Amino acid sequence: MRAISGLWRWRHNPLCRATDLAEAWVALAGLLLILSVAPLVGARVGGAAQDAMQRSVRDQHESRHRVTATVVRALKRPPVTVDPDGASAGGLRSRVLADWTAPDGSRHEGSVVASIADPGPGDRFAIWTDGQGRTVARPLDSATATTHAVLAGFGAAVVAAALVEAGRRIVVWRMVRRRYARWEREWDRAGPDWGRTGAGS
């Protein structure tokens, strides 16, 4: 930012070097790229992620089915646990032996996690299965998919801004290195005569 403000201050300054102006112009170009390219990259990546996530949501809702399971008996191990998927429902989960009917009509029995704190035989609860009755995770919902897409777009914008800033720093670093190399050459030329001015030689 100091270099950009220097563009205005150094416009007619006799002490302004060409390299100072060049550095300020590079900083301005970097800022303009960050303000224009980074949001565009974020929007494109976020839009692509949104399309992919919503397709995934549709596919999961088509291939996963909510069925009702019946508790056969509670299982002692593991003890009552908190299920991450059920945290929003606000309940403890228990592992039980249950039976259910798959969407294709086949009967199944197995160990599942029930949304019941104190399950007993005959209690009913909902589970998610595929078409053949195998238990699967709850399908992704549209709001969660949108949140992931927004985060992906924001992350892409931050990465794009970081890349532009890294490029600006590399360009300025190379300019400073060239400036120092020129100074070294000038000192090498002036060095032998430095300090002998007016000595009559």
At 190 the pLDDT is: 73
* pLDDT above 80 (res 8): no
DSSP the chain: -HHHHHHHHTTT-TT--HHHHHHHHHHHHHHHHHHHHHHHHHHHHHHHHHHHHHHHHHHHHHH-EEEEEEEEEE--SS-SB--GGGTTTT--BEEEEEEEE-TTS-EEEEEEEES-SS--TT-EEEEEE-TTS-B-PPPPPHHHHHHHHHHHHHHHHHHHHHHHHHHHHHHHHHHHHHHHHHHHHHHHHHGGGTT-TTS--
> What pLDDT band is residue 86 in, cutting at 50, 70 and 90?
very low
Taking only the tens place, the pLDDT of each residue in 96-122 is 899 999 888 889 998 888 888 788 888
Lowest-pLDDT range, 2-16, 37-51, 54-68, 130-144? 2-16
> What pLDDT band is residue 88 in, cutting at 50, 70 and 90?
very low
At 159 the pLDDT is: 96
Taking only the tens place, the pLDDT of each residue in 10-33 is 556 665 667 767 777 888 888 899
> What pLDDT band is residue 77 in, cutting at 50, 70 and 90?
low
> What pLDDT band is residue 76 in, cutting at 50, 70 and 90?
confident
> What pLDDT band is residue 149 in, cutting at 50, 70 and 90?
very high
What is the chain's mean pLDDT, rounded?
81
At 189 the pLDDT is: 77
Stronger pLDDT, 196 or 141, i.e. the higher one: 141
The share of the chain scoring above pLDDT 90, in percent, equals 35
122-144 mean pLDDT:
90
pTM of the model: 0.63
At 4 the pLDDT is: 52
Taking only the tens place, the pLDDT of each residue in 65-75 is 999 999 998 88
